[in-house]
């Protein structure tokens, strides 16, 4: 057993999230602020934390509304918190929630804060719809026009194609390649079979279904009340399919390469709405307030690859860096959580960690480690639970911390791929 990390430590006290729901379904009428405030409010209630103990709120969001660019501030304006609590919102793509937690960790370790609420939110049912640049310019000019004739002259320049709405694309700005296209390319280049992808998806759904039934996932969820009369109670994720099977998934057609592809809607994470909040403290503050921490943030790392290469291979580089910073090896890990954006992405990174060829490419003396699926994604993953971009990292920290406590596991690892060719890795250490 290694000695504790020197200096101040940031510890995870608890985490809570909304149910995760397929975009356009149960949470479609909620704003990002609604979801983020909901799970944060419930977290404060369950932990009985006095609001005046909170030093800061840090939240992630990948697709913000132009009308609400700083959702973290809307969270910090909850009636349970003083209006003087500062807040900011960040974007590290799919790792945003985890990055918010690590930013909080840095603040705590530096002695700049003792208590921080950190998390992430995404409402992909409510993405901003934009105009073309030409039409936006015409609208701006028309708003400043001095006469009706000037306005009519400007609007006369509008063509039908200018009126077509523009939705945010889930694609790389640098390459134009979508996430799904990248996942398909990775499947081909790394020889990840369709069967292997579907097997991972089935396992994810089966494990998530089991964790829902036995209450492990339910304990992380703040039930949502919807419907016209607020009489519809949503207390579980609506994407989990307990009855899915290899036969059912085999019938789905490839989405991104219809002739030769293997990535389908069944082995890819769906667009999802949801929010997650985590309560972090300095270890000293936690003890002073009478809280028993779950885990401590031992180390984290971010890496990046060329987005035009294998977009979602960043974790292959980030994980060994995080392990080195933590002073650990793969064999020290009792539990692992790998974000499942696509089954092909998960299996490509798993393949790399266990490959001697990849270890040489990374300049490592030995392979990173072989994944033990009995200790990996034990409650399912994003393929089944869903992936509200910025919320996923906070969900993973909460789930892993809780499961490490249940199993009395000393060390756990989180791995997340992210847009831009980035990879994120985080090592947690059991406390207490």
Q: Residues with catalytic annotation?
A: 94, 387, 417
Token duo for residue 188: 């081909």
Pairing outcome for strands 224-226 and 295-304: unpaired
Please list, residue by residue across 407-429, b when 16 or more beta carbons sit within 10 angstroms of its beta carbon and e when fewer do.
Answer: eebbbbbbbbbbbbbbbbbbbbb
Residue 120 half-sphere exposure toward CB, CA atoms < 13 A: 34
Nearest CA to 367 out of 331, 340, 322 is that of: 331
Query: Phi and psi of 260, rounded to 5°?
Result: -120, 5
H or E stretch at 317: helix 314-326
Nearest CA to 430 out of 215, 406, 419 is that of: 406
User: Measured between alpha carbons, how far is 351 from 369 in angstroms, rounded to an integer?
Assistant: 10
H or E stretch at 105: helix 96-109
Residue 270 half-sphere exposure toward CB, CA atoms < 13 A: 22
User: Measured between alpha carbons, how far is 413 from 415 in angstroms, rounded to an integer?
Assistant: 7
71 and 36 Cβ atoms separated by less than 8 Å: yes
User: Measured between alpha carbons, how far is 431 from 426 in angstroms, rounded to an integer?
Assistant: 16
276 and 395 Cβ atoms separated by less than 8 Å: yes
User: Measured between alpha carbons, how far is 131 from 122 in angstroms, rounded to an integer?
Assistant: 22
Three-class DSSP category at 37: helix
299 and 103 Cβ atoms separated by less than 8 Å: no
């Amino acid at each position: 057993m290694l000695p504790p990390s020197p200096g101040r430590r940031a510890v995870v006290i608890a985490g809570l999230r909304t149910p995760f729901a397929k975009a356009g379904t149960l949470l479609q009428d909620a704003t990002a602020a609604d979801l983020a405030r909901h799970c944060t409010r419930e977290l404060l209630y369950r932990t009985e934390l006095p609001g005046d103990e909170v030093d800061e709120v840090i939240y992630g969001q990948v697709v913000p509304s132009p009308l609400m660019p700083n959702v973290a501030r809307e969270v910090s304006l909850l009636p349970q918190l003083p209006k003087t609590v500062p807040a900011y919102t960040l974007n590290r793509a799919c790792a945003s929630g985890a990055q918010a937690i690590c930013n909080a960790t840095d603040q705590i370790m530096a002695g700049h804060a003792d208590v921080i609420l950190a998390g992430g939110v995404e409402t992909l049912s409510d993405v901003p719809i934009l105009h073309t640049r030409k039409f936006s310019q015409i609208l701006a000019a028309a708003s400043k026009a001095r006469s009706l004739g000037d306005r009519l002259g400007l609007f006369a320049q509008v063509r039908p194609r200018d009126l077509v709405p523009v939705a945010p694309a889930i694609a790389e700005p640098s390459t134009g390649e979508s996430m799904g296209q990248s996942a398909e390319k990775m499947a081909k280049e790394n020889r990840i079979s369709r069967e292997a992808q579907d097997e991972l998806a089935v396992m994810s759904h089966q494990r998530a279904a089991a964790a829902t039934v036995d209450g492990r996932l339910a304990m992380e969820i703040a039930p949502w009340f919807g419907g016209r009369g607020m009489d519809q109670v949503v207390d579980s994720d609506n994407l989990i399919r307990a009855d899915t099977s290899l036969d059912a998934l085999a019938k789905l057609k490839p989405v991104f390469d219809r002739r030769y592809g293997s990535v389908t809607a069944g082995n890819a994470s769906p667009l999802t709405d949801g929010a997650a909040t985590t309560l972090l403290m300095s270890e000293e503050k936690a003890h002073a307030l009478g809280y028993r921490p779950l885990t401590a943030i031992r180390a984290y790392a971010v890496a990046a690859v060329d987005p035009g290469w294998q977009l979602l291979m960043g974790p292959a580089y980030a994980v060994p860096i995080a392990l080195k910073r933590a002073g650990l090896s793969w064999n020290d890990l009792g539990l692992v959580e790998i974000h499942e954006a696509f089954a092909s992405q998960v299996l490509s990174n798993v393949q790399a960690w266990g490959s001697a060829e990849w270890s040489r490419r990374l300049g490592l003396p030995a392979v990173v480690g072989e994944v033990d699926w009995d200790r990996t994604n034990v409650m399912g993953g994003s393929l089944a639970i869903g992936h509200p971009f910025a919320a996923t990292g906070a969900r993973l920290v909460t789930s892993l911390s809780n499961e490490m406590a249940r199993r009395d596991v000393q060390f756990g690892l989180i791995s997340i791929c992210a847009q831009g060719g980035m990879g994120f890795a985080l090592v947690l250490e059991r406390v207490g």
